[in-house]
Chains A and B, each alone.
Chain A
Amino acid sequence: MMKLLKYDLRRNANLLLAVCAVLILCELALILSPAMLEVKLGVIIVANFAAAVIFMINNLRVFDYNIKSVSRRLLPVNTLSYVWASLVYGILNTLALIVIAGGAGLYFLGRLDASFWADAFKLPLYVWIGLALEAVFTTVYGFLMFYVVIALARSITKKGAFWVGLLLFLVLSAVMDWLENLLFGQDSTQPFNMVTFHFESTTGTITHDSLTAVAGWRWFGSFGFELLLSIAFLFVIKWCVEKRIEAR
C-alpha cells in the first residue's frame, strides 16, 4: 500500500506541488495587499476551497487510475490496497491544506475579533477529540462513497462512466440520507452528529460564553449505520475490481 502511495504521489507531484505553491503565493499576496481584512479573509477562504476541490477531484482520479490501469492491476497486491492508498493520499493532501490554511489563519487570528473562537478553545478536550474523529470518519465515509460509485460505474459501462457515476452518486446519497433519517431521525443538516452546539443568545448576537457543546449519544446509531455501510462499500469495491472491471 505504501508503495502504491509513493508512486501515486510521484505521478501527481507536479499537480499537488503546483496547487500548494499557487495557494501559498495567493495567501502571501493577499496578506501583503492593502485590501480590507474581510475581503482578504473571503478571498483566502475561496482560494482554499478551490484548492480543496482540486485535490478532491485529483484523489478520485487517482483511485480511478488504480482500479483500471493495466500497470496497477497487474501488481500482486491486495485489492483493497488501492482503496487504502487513495484514502491515505487524500488524508495527506487534506493535512497539507490544513497546514497552509492554518498558516493563513494565524495571520487572521491576531486581527479579527477572535473572542468567538476563544470560547471554542474553552471546550473540553473530549469534545475536540470527538470532533476530530468524527471529521476523519465522515471524510473517509464520504470518500468511500465516491469510490464505490466510481467502481460501480466502471463495472457497468466502458463509455460515459463519468455520467453513470454522477447519477449513481446522486441516487446513492439521496437513498442514504433518506434511510438515515428513517432509521435514526437524524437531521443530516447538522455538520456533526456527535456534538451539538448550542448558541445561547439573549441579545440576538453571538457573544462570549454563548457557546457550549454537548457530546450526545444519539449519534451512535447513525455512526454505526455509516460504519456498516463503509464496510459494505469495501466489499462492493473489492467485488467490482476483481470480477467486473476490465483494465485498460
Chain B
Amino acid sequence: MSIEFDNNLPIYLQIMNHIKRQIVSGLLQPGDKIPSVRELAADLQINPNTIQRTFQELEREEVVETKRGLGRYVTSEESKIMAIKKEMAGELLHQFIHGMQELGFKNQDIVTIVKEAVAAESGKDRKEEHPDGRASEG
C-alpha cells in the first residue's frame, strides 16, 4: 500500500479518508479485517501513534470495530457504509460545485452539465463493458 501524503495536512485524517475510500469502493468489504497498527505503520512508514489515532477516530465513528483478541474489522452494518458513501460524496460534491463556480458556471448550468456528463460516461461504460458490471458513481 502506498499513498501520497500531503505533509501540510494532518496525516491521520488522510489515512482515515483513504480507508473510507477503500471501504466505499469495495476494496475493503464489510467485516474485512484491517491491518494492525504496527503493520500499517510499517507499510506506510508512518508514526504508529498516528495510526492509532486514526483507528480510534474510525472506531468513534463506528466505521470499524474492535473484536477483543482478534483485531479490527470493517463494520458489517450496511447502513453505516452507506452513510460513509454519502459523507464522502458530500465532500466531493462540495469541492466539485465550488470548483465549477470558480470556473464561472451558474447553478442551473452546473446541473445541466452534470446530466450530460453522466449520460456520456454511462455510454462509454456500456461500450467498454465495465469488468465488474457496476455502474460508476457520480
**Direct A–B contact in complex, judged by CB atoms less than 8 Å apart:** no
